Amino acid sequence: MRYLISVSYDGDKLYGFERQPRKKTVQGELERVLTKINKTTVLIKGAGRTDRGVHAYDQKAHFDLNINITCDGLKRAMNSMLDPSVYVNSVKTVDNEFHARFDVKKKVYRYDINLGEYNPVINSYVYNYNRNLNVSKMKKAAKYLLGINNYEAFTSGERDNYNSIIYKITFSKKDDILSIKFEGKAFFRYMVRNLVGALILVGEGKVEPEYIQELINNKKVKKRYVTAPPNGLFLMKVDY
């Protein structure tokens, strides 16, 4: 039987999503408890990988079990054994052809930036930038990122295809926390953090909003942005 789970986790307490030898990771934790429940080795396939320090409210993963257990029973069993930094939100059965990564239709990420005074209490869950930004210019720059584009300028590492779709980018502010939400088809390695870094560069007034368009259209344009730290990033939702 194939199962699909929704998982939330505190990235500050983990070494990222992907399993690593002698390191506590999301995949490692899930496979550890599932193997105990199933009594044979269970490997999971996630909707994507998040880096060390990145958090999630609704990461998705699928796996196969050869035991008879209800979805509610499986959820309770997993949560009773998982590290407190990881929690299974829901469990459901899916078709055996379903794939948690390849069947994704949309992912939603949020990045939180503290524009106010440094706050050590929330340091693991925001980017303590602690200065003002020109949000109006950042919003203008974000429009150049929408639609179908080649996002090589915002992707770390090499891959065969850098094309994806960003459907929507929205900004909101509560007290001193600026939140930027990205909704898209797929986000590559460090892509959201690089997008945030480029938008911050615009917000600082060091480049004009059109710089973002130049990065997309011209590979020779120099990358001047700094990758935003992982602690402000949250995977909010994965849709199928």
Q: Which residues are catalytic?
A: 51
3-state secondary structure string, 96-163? CCCCCCCCCCEEEEEEEEECCCCCHHHCCCCEECCCCCCHHHHHHHHHHHCEEEECHHHCCCCCCCCE
Closest by Cα among 212, 54, 207 to 133: 207
Tokens of 74: 């499986």
Closest by Cα among 155, 202, 213, 163 to 184: 163
DSSP-derived letter for residue 23 is B
One-letter amino acid of 101: R
Tokens of 66: 């050869």
Tokens of 175: 């007290």
Beta bridge partners of 106: 239
Number of H helices, E strands in the chain: 5, 10
d(CA 146, CA 15) in angstroms, rounded, equals 31
Helix (H, G, I), strand (E, B) or coil at 43: coil
> How far does CA 52 lie from the centroid of its chain?
11
